[in-house]
Structure 1
């Protein structure tokens, strides 16, 4: 494979190839999103799909920055996953009083930014429950649904929607910024940015690997192994 040198990051000898393989998209996205929250000036944030690999990374990075996180999940078992990485505030979007709980908690913590990986109706519900002037940064579309936003939410409550795509963000960064980012990744790689790996499949079982991951997304990442191994 041939690629641009500026698209590569050194991982160091103390990091396994497996963790190195997971160190680009999710970790850099998590760092960039939390930095965006800081730039906006928010003291707390809300995140959907919070039990995902990226969601758990946001919990750790935000804690380092002193930013409170309201984590939204849709399954009870996902709450334990988040508590294990130190999450303090967890709400289940499937409960009957979810929107009321979110409205109260987001006002209490002054959570004015939502990091959203789901899209669809959930984005609208969450943004509606958040304080005046809040915004949702949409970086994923797990629901595969459009986001229904009432015009009054933007006109009278000054709420906003914006997007984030790593492939558009990365080319805008200077070489110095990429160097600083590589240092951040190294310092966080063994804890806040560590990726759980739930299964490994050989290349010839790639389709089976995708099916397994689709059914077990919150258990961890699935690696497709080529002929090259750790010792080669």
Structure 2
């Protein structure tokens, strides 16, 4: 079978290769999935560059989530062969992958393959972070990198919950589309004074929470946008630069800054919460209410072109690997 592997760290387009590997067999408690589609997420690219929370063991497979059809099961994995599932597990960029049965979610017939492939990482993270933000209906939530696939989901979820949103962008080419999704206000980090604009938008109170994926100067400026008792949840570092923190602001506004990683959140909450989030996310995506656009599809042999496209500025939709 074909699978994507890398044997050194570096730029994904330079080191990812489609290779022939042995067909994996499911051990006890595991299932084998014939992969139909898998997205390219920022976490996938960070993993390849050894910048993620999990260190690759070289040579390493790549890709963390996808969807497909179960075609073999190990002992104790009580899932029927032939059902469509969304899954998480390293090695999703391949024709087949073996994952633990607890990392598999059966998907309804009404859900398309393209949406099922993106079911876990971005939707679950968006749902969990908006929930953890504590922003009530009518309150203000700010998100950096608003044009990302994750940002678009947060915007749509906040519309559903009656939360007002401020999103930062570096270019204005996606502004109309973001506004149509429901983004309340847009700040261009290249031309606007972020803190001044937020004070103007919120009547001087600031926002209750910032979801930051950028770091660097953007995150530094975003801290100053928090109101009294506000919280910044940091879930990425797209700039590859650490922010500078204003300790005075943190003290006198009683601010909280903490990291968010979905893997830890899933371990931290109880089974009832996980099941509730799973049901709500699946229901939300199945109705077609949320948009998860696709901009390109590539085969395993086109992996270099695929990751280049995924890293392209101004991209509107997700890039899928379709073995």
TM-score by length of 2: 0.65
Query: Aligned equivalents of 1:127 and 1:42: distance in 2?
Result: 21
Q: Could you tell me which of 196, 199, 203 is aligned with 2:296?
A: 199
Q: Which residue of 1 aligns with 2:307?
A: 210
Q: Which deviates the most, 52-61 or 183-192?
A: 183-192
Deviation at 1:139, TM superposition (A): 0.7
Q: Does 1:114 align with 2:206?
A: no
In 2: Cα distance, 1:75 partner to 1:109 partner: 26
**Mean alpha-carbon deviation: is it higher for 5-14 or for 170-179?**
170-179
Q: 1:122 to 1:16 in 2, by over 3 A?
A: same
The answer as to whether partners of 2:174 and 2:314 remain within 8 angstroms in 1 is no
Greater share of residues in strand: 2
The 1:182/1:97 distance shift into structure 2, 3 A limit, reads closer
5+ unaligned residues in a row in structure 2: which ranges? 1-96
- How much does 1:70 deviate? 1.0
Aligned-residue offset at 1:24:
0.7
User: How many equivalent residue pairs?
Assistant: 226
CA-based RMSD: 2.1
Aligned CA distance change for structure 1 residues 96 and 87 (closer, same or farther; 3 Å): closer
Q: Which has the larger radius of gyration?
A: 2
Q: Which residue of 2 aligns with 1:53?
A: 149
CA gap of 1:18–1:47, structure 2 versus 1, over 3 A, is same
The alpha-carbon distance between structure 1 residues 32 and 138, as it changes in their structure 2 partners (threshold 3 A), is same
**Bigger mean CA offset, 44-53 vs 95-104:** 95-104
Which has the higher mean CA deviation after the structures are superposed, 101-110 or 134-143? 101-110
Give the structure 2 partner of residue 230 of structure 1.
Answer: none
Residue pairs, 1:179-194, within 5 angstroms: 179-189=275-285, 190-194=287-291
Structure having the higher helix fraction is 1
